[in-house]
Amino acid sequence: MVGIFSLVTGWPGPSGFGSSSTAEQVTQGIDGTNLTAIITGGASGIGLETSRVLALRGVHVIIGVRNVKAANEAKKTILTEIETARVDVLELDLCSIRSIRAFADNFIALNLHLNILINNAGIMFCPFQLSQDGIEVQFATNHIGHFLLTELLLDKMKNTVKTTGIQGRIVNLSSIAHTHCYKNGIRFDHINAKDGYNDKRAYGQSKLANILHANELSRRLQEEGVNVTVNSVHPGLIMTPLFRHSAVLMRGGDDLLRGPPPTAEGSHREILCRLQ
């Protein structure tokens, strides 16, 4: 009950911050001028605010996004507010292994450090479909895409830590929806099976994978003695484009995870599946 009370009221926790704290408040006083961060899906919602505030603190922000036009508009918005912001856009489609590899190659070719990787982009509650690589699309985008991206950039981050002495950070945006998964957790033998597919449980499955990825990668890096922290985070119920298009999603709690969509083929579901 204390957790729910704090969440609703914004009452601060041991850190001094609570659910009502803004990103600007949390980062107040931080100088990020020597840092470079990659943020997937950094052109809208949580990703855009993360990009803006990191840029405000002097971080060189690389936005990885499928919709390059939207990302360039977001970049203009940030530069209008923060004239000294360092923001670049690189194309990244997390549904495509080829695109992920191209993004990693393009970033490495920039010869920049990599201090922070925020695996933020995602899709939600999609009707069953496969990615171009033949993987269930929510699992492909939310987990496989970020898993591969992290693996391709890990040596760059390790080298950055060695060169600069600055701790690296990897953050996976997960969700409390990981608790609403399939009965036996991740359906490893049936990831791409249409039979028994449930859009919400498939989303929960992908979010559980985000957490397991972060936990195992953190363990391995600690064993290696690499100064990189890896965490998964539930961002809370936040108004983003994912929620803007569907009133039913704003009910939160059990309704969010268990309630049926208003129609079997509601247009909002197609919108949610295209967002990244």
In the numeric block, which tokens belong to residue 15? 């850190």
Strand partners, 61: 37, 87
Strand partners, 136: 130
Q: Is 197 a catalytic residue?
A: yes
Taking phi over 0 as left and psi of -120 to 50 as alpha, with beta for the rest, 165 belongs to left
Taking phi over 0 as left and psi of -120 to 50 as alpha, with beta for the rest, 253 belongs to left
Q: Kindly provide the residue ranges of all beta strands, DSSP E only, lying in 185-274, ordered along the sequence.
A: 228-233
> Looking up tokens 């690589």, which residue turns up?
133
| Active-site position among 103, 107, 125, 197 | 197
- The alpha carbon of residue 222 and the mean position of all alpha carbons in its chain are separated, in whole angstroms, by 23
Residues labelled as active-site residues: 197
